Amino acid sequence: MKVAVVGVTGLVGGVMCRVLEEHQFPVTEFIPVASARSVGKKVTFNNNEYTVVSMDDAIAMRPDIAIFSAGGGTSKEHAPRFAAVGTTVIDNSSAWRMHDDKRLIVPEINAHLLTEEDKIIANPNCSTIQMVVALAPLHAKYGIKRLVISTYQAVTGTGVQAVQQLEEERNNTKASDPAYPHPIDLNCLPHGGSFQDDGYTTEEVKLVNETRKILGAPDIRITATVVRVPVYGGHSESVNVEFERDFDLEELKSLLENSPGVTVQDDFKNNIYPMPLYSKDKDDVFVGRLRRDFSQPNSLNMWIVSDNLRKGAATNAVQIAQYLMENKLLHSNVELVTK
Q: Which of 17, 78, 126, 139 is catalytic?
A: 126
Tell me if 104 is assigned to some domain: no
Query: What single DSSP character describes residue 84?
Result: H
Query: Which bin fits 2, alpha (ψ -120 to 50), beta or left (φ > 0)?
Result: beta
Residues 85 and 153 both lie in one domain: no
Cα 196 → chain centroid: 23
Q: What pLDDT score was predicted for residue 336?
A: 42
Residues 236 and 323 both lie in one domain: no
Residues 78 and 145 both lie in one domain: no
Tell me if 122 is assigned to some domain: no
Q: What pLDDT score was predicted for residue 330?
A: 87
> By three-state DSSP, how is residue 111 classified?
helix
Tell me if 191 is assigned to some domain: yes
CATH number at residue 201: 3.30.360.10
Residues 65 and 152 both lie in one domain: no
Residues 17 and 147 both lie in one domain: no
> By three-state DSSP, how is residue 89 classified?
strand
Residues 287 and 334 both lie in one domain: no
How far is Cα 179 from Cα 338, in angstroms, rounded to an integer? 48
Tell me if 100 is assigned to some domain: no
Residues 13 and 37 both lie in one domain: yes
Residues 87 and 153 both lie in one domain: no
Active-site residue, 126 included: yes
What is the per-residue pLDDT across 263-315, written as a single tens digit (0 to 9) for each? 999 999 999 999 999 999 999 999 999 999 999 999 999 999 999 999 999 99
Tell me if 162 is assigned to some domain: yes
Q: What pLDDT score was predicted for residue 333?
A: 62
pTM: 0.95
Q: CA angle, 287 as apex, 282 and 289 as ends, to 5°?
A: 140
Q: Is 112 exposed, middle or buried (0-12, 13-18, 19+ CB in 10 A)?
A: exposed
Tell me if 154 is assigned to some domain: yes
How far is Cα 336 from Cα 339, in angstroms, rounded to an integer? 5
Q: Which of 17, 78, 139, 235 is catalytic?
A: 235
Single-letter amino acid code for the residue at 284: D
Residues 274 and 159 both lie in one domain: yes
Please count the structural domains in the chain.
Answer: 2
The 10 Å CB-count burial string (b at 16+, else e) for 172-209 is: eeebeebbbeebbeeeebeebbeeeeeebbebbbbbbb
Low-confidence ranges of the chain (pLDDT < 50): 335-339
Active-site residue, 17 included: no
Query: Which bin fits 40, alpha (ψ -120 to 50), beta or left (φ > 0)?
Result: left
CATH number at residue 9: 3.40.50.720
Residues 177 and 279 both lie in one domain: yes
Q: Domain residues for 25?
A: 2-95+314-338
Which has the closest alpha carbon to 15: 165, 234, 303, 286?
234
Tell me if 328 is assigned to some domain: yes
* Max CA separation in the chain (angstroms): 66
Q: What pLDDT score was predicted for residue 47?
A: 97
Residues 145 and 259 both lie in one domain: yes
Residues 292 and 162 both lie in one domain: yes
Tell me if 110 is assigned to some domain: no
